[in-house]
Amino acid sequence: MADSPYIVEVTDASFTQDVLERSYQVPVLVDFWAEWCQPCKMLMPTLARIAEDYAGKFILAKINTEEQREVAGQFGIRSIPTVKLFRNGEVVDEFAGALPEGSIRDFINQHIPRESDALIDQALDAMDQEDLETAEDLLVRVTAEDPENYRVILANAQLKMLRGDFDATEQLLDALPLDKQDDPEAKQLRAQLPFIRALSTAPAEAELIEAAESGDSQATYQLAAMRIFQQDFEQALELLLGLMRKDRKFGDDAARKGMLAVFDMLGGDADLVKRYRGKMFTLLH
């Protein structure tokens, strides 16, 4: 184990190079342990065996918290064993205690790129180029070769949305595993879906603007959808807020739901989100 290329003993001095910098190339699983810790000694051979089996798909880094106190303190290690997974210089996941081997493998598998991911990325690139036939061929191949990769469901949902099959898009998103329903890509697609659906029947922009200015609720909503895909989120939110103020019943409260969808697209901490969430709540109360 000491000579394994997949396992490294890390010190306070080598942490930046061995963990942070290396995690930009490959996931690094950091095991915080101590000599006196019996569960640590139970966990170590399991982690080492998995590291050997994965043959470089991740690196196992071992940190003795009694000897390397600076790093242990930096990450607030209060109980051991604690295992943290680093990717791109940051902690992206962690667990504590001596988990069973199967659970550890499941934990790692969530962060290890699969061979089919490259094909999915090619399919997404093809969609960006509006080459939907190539995208479909690639996704059919992935579905046959690696049906367990949930990303193929997301990619197929995006393909269906681009083809205007909105019901199929929704069905695919609903078919995602429960633990993937809040995946950022899934939330983005769900947020975009009602706006793409609205735009599919929208007239030209000039006609939309004229109808929205005359008070047409449908046109106002469609114009907001258009602004979203033009990346003019503030104008979109302003239109939705005005529609919410004027016609709450339109589309089963579509304006409020639309604002929430835009908040999801932008991320909950964006300044624009905070400002318009406040305006929305003021209107609601």
Q: Which residues are catalytic?
A: 37, 40
What would the two tokens of residue 192 be? Answer: 């975009």
Torsion 215-217-222-226 (CA) sign: positive
Is residue 91 within 8 A of residue 110, CB to CB? The reply is no
Nearest-angstrom CA–CA distance, 186 and 173:
7
